Amino acid sequence: MKRTLVTGLTVACLTLLAAQAQAFGHRCGFDYCCPPPCPMKVTYVDREVTCYKPVWKEEKVKCVVNKIVCREEIETRKCTVMIPKWTDVKRTCTYLVPVPKTVERDVLICRMVPVQMTDECTGCTYTCYKPETVKQKVKCTVYECKEEKKDIMVRVCHYEPQEREYKVKRIIPECQQETVDRIRRYCVMTPFQTTIKVAVCVPCE
């Protein structure tokens, strides 16, 4: 009985496979063969599409910047300076005074003295002169220095400290914030319509 049931199931499966093969064409072994492809035709048509292009725009924006501002400040300071001061001081001055004086000095002088001479050839005598050096008293004036003193007034300078005030100008930089308008540039993608050629496949007739 089991053999009869198995045989019936086998026949039913073969009948079903045969019906499917007739629906899709003919069966080639275990694979189904497709019909030959139909040739396609490609043509180009105009289509309107949306594209985007960059456009630069400007806008004013407010921004806060730091600005250096200098201000003047006057300060009063003190300093000590040395001031010259002149005073009259009595001083004793010593100096030399020449004093004339007459003195006698021995001076050597030369004089001609007569001498009696005898001529050897004739035996006659004659007088001639010969030089002779002698001392002679001569008066002359000489000067001797004598020391004398006298009081004189002399201007003497000495320095005295004195405190003074003077003004000093200082430049102090300060940072201040300021709001200013600046131009900012930015890019925006703007759409626009254009026509392009598009390839289209036309099915075979």
Q: What is the rounded CA–CA span in Å between residue 21 and residue 14?
A: 11
Q: Indicate the helix (H) or strand (E) that contains 126.
A: strand 125-202
Average pLDDT, the chain: 81
Span 126-152, pLDDT tens digits: 888 888 888 888 888 999 998 999 999
Q: Give the global pTM.
A: 0.29
Contact criterion met (CB below 8 Å) for 191 and 86: no
What mean pLDDT comes out for the span 1-12? 50
Q: What is the rounded CA–CA span in Å between residue 5 and residue 152?
A: 171
What mean pLDDT comes out for the span 165-193? 90
Q: What is the rounded CA–CA span in Å between residue 103 and residue 124?
A: 49
Question: Does residue 145 sit in helix, strand or coil?
Answer: strand
Tokens of 87: 């005073």
**pLDDT of 39:** 63
Share of the chain above pLDDT 90, in %: 26
**pLDDT of 199:** 83
Span 87-97, pLDDT tens digits: 999 999 898 99
pLDDT band at 116 (very low <50, low <70, confident <90, very high): confident
Beta bridge partners of 104: 139
Residue 49 has pLDDT above 50, yes or no: yes
Contact criterion met (CB below 8 Å) for 67 and 175: yes
- For the CA atoms of 103, 104, 109, 113, what is the dihedral angle to 10 degrees? 150
Q: What is the rounded CA–CA span in Å between residue 8 and residue 106?
A: 197
pLDDT band at 31 (very low <50, low <70, confident <90, very high): very low
Share of the chain above pLDDT 70, in %: 80
